[in-house]
Amino acid sequence: MDGRRHALVVANDEYDDPGLRRLVAPAQDAQALADALADPAIGHFDVRVLHNESAQAIRFAVEDFFADRAAEDLLLLHFSCHGLKNASGELFLAVADTRPTRLASTAVAADFVNRQMADSRAQRIALFLDCCYGGCTRLRRVARRGRSGAGRRRRGDLGGHRPPYPVVGSGA
């Protein structure tokens, strides 16, 4: 399979909310990963790095990252940040302006990321979650309607689509 290689690396190590402690490694790890991925001898990816951005900026970047891709493209999304769960056990990725008491409006929901992956035409997607509870998120690939708009496949009937490949590092 040919196709282009794209990577979005999201790192957050500083938080506006005093209840979220500063992290030591995300910025350095993100830059090292970006350098390796961009190196033609190693990954030859087109890489974009976001560092300490707002939830809205990251949601826009994630949606934009998965949009308008070819089926043959290889996409790699990496998050390095705090992972937080709400009362229902849903995973949220904490970013610069996250308020732990308002996760739905101030963090990036793992479900949002999941939906963007499911909506992408790319069939080769890798997701790296370097955060607490990263292993708790369920990844799924929901088949989309064909160009004719005829019928929707059931979840689990992937119609030739491969699910994303998760790689998680979790402290919880």
CATH code (residue 80): 3.40.50.1460
Q: What is the rounded distance in angstroms from the CA atom of residue 106 to the CA atom of residue 113?
A: 15
- Domain hosting 106: range is 5-169
Task: Tell how strand 46-51 and strand 5-11 pair up.
Answer: parallel
Based on the structure, what is the number of domains in the chain?
Answer: 1
Range of weakest confidence among 26-30, 46-50, 131-135: 131-135
Structure confidence at residue 141 (pLDDT): 45
Structure confidence at residue 2 (pLDDT): 80
pLDDT band at 156 (very low <50, low <70, confident <90, very high): very low
Q: What is the rounded distance in angstroms from the CA atom of residue 64 to the CA atom of residue 58?
A: 10
Do 12 and 23 form a contact (C-beta atoms < 8 A)? yes
pLDDT at 154 over 50: no
Q: What is the pLDDT of residues 90-123, one digit of tens each?
A: 999 999 999 999 999 999 999 999 999 999 999 9
Q: What is the pLDDT of residues 66-86, one digit of tens each?
A: 999 999 999 999 999 999 999
pTM of the model: 0.82
Do 50 and 58 form a contact (C-beta atoms < 8 A)? yes
pLDDT at 169 over 60: no
Do 76 and 4 form a contact (C-beta atoms < 8 A)? no
